[in-house]
């Protein structure tokens, strides 16, 4: 690169890496607007946290009398947002950073193999194995299967066992447990089982989004002329992603872990603002257009893309639509659910034009 002269290029001798790296790599282009950048910390924190909390509050605070259709919209709009984020906001930037037509992708060993696709594949397979392992572990721990018949069998077995012990207790003159205690215990076990099955998949989804939020926060703190466009776009970007996370969180059975959704909402809300603050702290030295930064961004984006592709298609779309046993019972809602999902995916895909 040191001998490359962009004003005097010989196409017969110049390397593809020289041209691509000249076009892709850049210097730090921070150009002020410190007050506006500081304001973005608070604006993005408030909006992203609010939109993340809204579906959770709507589901858990009936006193607010939020219409069910509003909650329904938030949940499936959020599903569309997450699916579009996987492909438009993560997979495409990953290829732009380390793909075969990028500066990194034609340099050194990065050009020997399609590493971007390999990282996405490894991420998808890893998340699948973790998801499968979590399901098998929970089924083994509780001695039941996921389907409703097995759950009913577990309840019947528990009640039958208690009935035997009750008969024995009556004969021996010892006190018996009330039937309500049995059902309370069974309900508690079922709630804990549901929580453990669902929370692992959700945490993987949230941390996949958080990786992406760290990168865009750093970039917003140091970006140059694009800041005036990137700022408002990222406000909507983070708000919609937060809505997607909150909507999925509202569908989980937290049981006795009632404090956890508030912590997870706050974690997402704080991630980008903290990253922006870090970016401002290194605003004159950090260069998002350097080779090292592009490699880090590309790898993290590829990992996050794999996580969200699996989560969006399997955990969200497939489970909510294809494998929903109650789908035919609520056909009037199905059209609305699909419409909300498509709207979320469409708007998030449109935002990809700017961020």
Distance between CA atoms of 6 and 305, rounded to whole angstroms?
34
Alpha-carbon distance of 233 to 354, in angstroms, equals 7
Please state, in angstroms and rounded to a whole number, the distance separating the CA atoms of residues 216 and 275: 8
Alpha-carbon distance of 324 to 340, in angstroms, equals 17
Q: How many of the other CB atoms lie within 10 Å of CB of 89? A: 25
Q: Which helix (H) or strand (E) holds 149?
A: helix 148-172
Taking only the tens place, the pLDDT of each residue in 50-93 is 999 988 888 777 777 778 788 788 888 988 999 999 999 999 99
Tokens of 238: 């983070």
* % of the chain with per-residue pLDDT over 70: 79
User: What is the chain's alpha carbon radius of gyration, rounded to the nearest angstrom?
Assistant: 25
Taking 60 as the threshold, does the pLDDT of residue 147 lie above it? no
pLDDT tens-digit map of 160-211: 545 555 455 445 555 555 556 665 655 566 666 667 767 878 888 888 888 8
- Total-model pTM: 0.78
């Amino acid at each position: 690169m040191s001998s490359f002269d962009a004003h005097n290029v010989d196409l017969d001798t110049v390397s593809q890496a020289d041209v691509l790296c000249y076009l892709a790599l850049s210097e730090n282009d921070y150009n002020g607007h410190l007050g506006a950048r500081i304001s973005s910390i608070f604006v993005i924190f408030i909006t992203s946290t609010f939109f993340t909390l809204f579906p959770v509050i709507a589901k858990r605070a009936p006193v607010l009398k939020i219409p069910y259709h509003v909650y329904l919209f938030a949940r499936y709009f959020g599903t569309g947002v997450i699916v579009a984020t996987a492909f438009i906001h993560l997979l495409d930037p990953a290829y732009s950073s380390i793909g075969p037509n990028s500066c990194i992708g034609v340099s050194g060993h990065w050009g020997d193999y399609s590493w971007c696709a390999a990282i996405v594949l490894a991420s998808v397979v890893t998340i699948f194995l973790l998801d499968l392992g979590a399901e098998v572990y929970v089924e083994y721990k509780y001695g039941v299967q996921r389907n409703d018949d097995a759950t009913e069998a577990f309840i019947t077995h528990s009640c039958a066992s208690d009935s035997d012990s009750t008969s024995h207790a009556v004969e021996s003159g010892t006190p018996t447990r009330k039937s309500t205690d049995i059902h309370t215990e069974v309900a508690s076990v079922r709630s804990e089982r549901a929580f453990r099955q669902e929370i692992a998949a959700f945490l993987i989804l949230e941390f996949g989004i958080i990786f992406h939020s760290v990168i865009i926060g750093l970039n917003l703190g140091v970006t140059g002329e694009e800041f005036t466009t990137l700022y408002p776009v990222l406000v909507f970007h983070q708000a919609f992603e937060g809505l997607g996370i909150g909507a999925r969180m509202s569908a989980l059975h937290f049981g006795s872990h009632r404090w956890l959704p508030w912590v997870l909402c706050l974690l997402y809300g704080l991630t980008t603002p903290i990253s922006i603050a870090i970016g401002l702290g290194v605003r004159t030295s950090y260069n998002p257009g350097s080779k090292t930064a592009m490699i880090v961004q590309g790898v993290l984006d590829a990992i996050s893309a794999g996580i969200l592709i699996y989560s969006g298609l399997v955990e969200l779309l497939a489970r909510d639509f294809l494998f929903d046993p109650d789908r035919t019972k609520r056909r009037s809602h199905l059209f609305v659910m699909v419409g909300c999902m498509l709207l979320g995916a469409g708007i998030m895909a449109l935002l990809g034009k700017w961020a």
